[in-house]
Amino acid sequence: MVGNDIVDIHETRRSSNWERPGFLQKLFTVKEQSLIATSNDPFVTLWRLWSMKESAYKVYIQAGGIRFFNPTKIECSLNSLKIGQVKIAAITLKTKTSIQANYIYSTASEDCSTVVTRIFKLIESHPKKQGLFMQEQLLYDYAKNYSLKLAHLQLKKLVTGVPVFYYKKKPLITSISITHHGKYGAYSFLKL
């Protein structure tokens, strides 16, 4: 399974108040707060950790986990500038993060080497239109990548919100994840 998350750095700088009292304690474990405090760039480290948590949470939900909002139950560790780990319930996932000038993008899976990703700068500003654009791109690219007829490929969301591909009305056994924030969006899927 794969999960992903993207953070638009400029939008987050504009709209977040991450330095307010209690913010870090509400979202991050003591260990993670220490990583943020001792970082050369606390802002980037904070949002990298958040992106990792969101990515792992998506995998957890795909695996049948029950939805919750308590980010301190998800703990991240950093192995290098790009590679990390996330523990959520009984699951430990590998993460891969790309930190660019405009965004931070993370994927979480059991093996990040099997993840296919595409990142977009979005033209639309309305979140619903961004989501539709991302779904269209994912359908098109997936059909092209696996030589499937686009007319027979559908993307549906389960009750849990997990996206699933259907081909000729039958579910495909693959894992996909879609994300967008601010001016950026991305999708990831596992190679078959």
* Domain architecture of the chain: domains with CATH: 2-110 (3.90.470.20), 119-190 (no CATH)
Q: Which tokens belong to 24?
A: 């870090």
pTM of the model: 0.94
pLDDT digits (tens, 9 = 90+) for 86-133: 999 999 999 999 999 999 999 999 876 788 999 999 998 899 999 999
pLDDT digits (tens, 9 = 90+) for 140-174: 999 999 999 999 999 999 998 899 999 999 999 88
User: Which residues are CB-contacts of 41 (< 8 A; sequence separation ≥ 6)?
Assistant: none
Q: Rounded CA gap, 5 and 167, in Å?
A: 26
DSSP 45-113: HHHHHHHHHHHHHHHHHHTTPPP---GGGEEEEESSSSEEEEEETTEEEEEEEEE-SSEEEEEEES-GG
| Predicted confidence band of residue 186 (pLDDT cuts 50, 70, 90) | very high
Output the pLDDT for position 3.
96
| Predicted confidence band of residue 191 (pLDDT cuts 50, 70, 90) | confident
Q: Rounded CA gap, 115 and 39, in Å?
A: 28
Which helix H or strand E contains 164, and what residues bound it? strand 163-167
CA angle at 21 for the pair 16 and 26, rounded to the nearest 5°: 75
Spatial contact of 128 and 136, defined as CB atoms under 8 Å apart: no
| Predicted confidence band of residue 190 (pLDDT cuts 50, 70, 90) | confident
Output the pLDDT for position 54.
98
Output the pLDDT for position 118.
96
What rounded mean pLDDT belongs to the chain?
A: 95
* 3-state SS assignment for residue 20: coil
The values of phi and psi at residue 77, to 5°, are: -135, 150
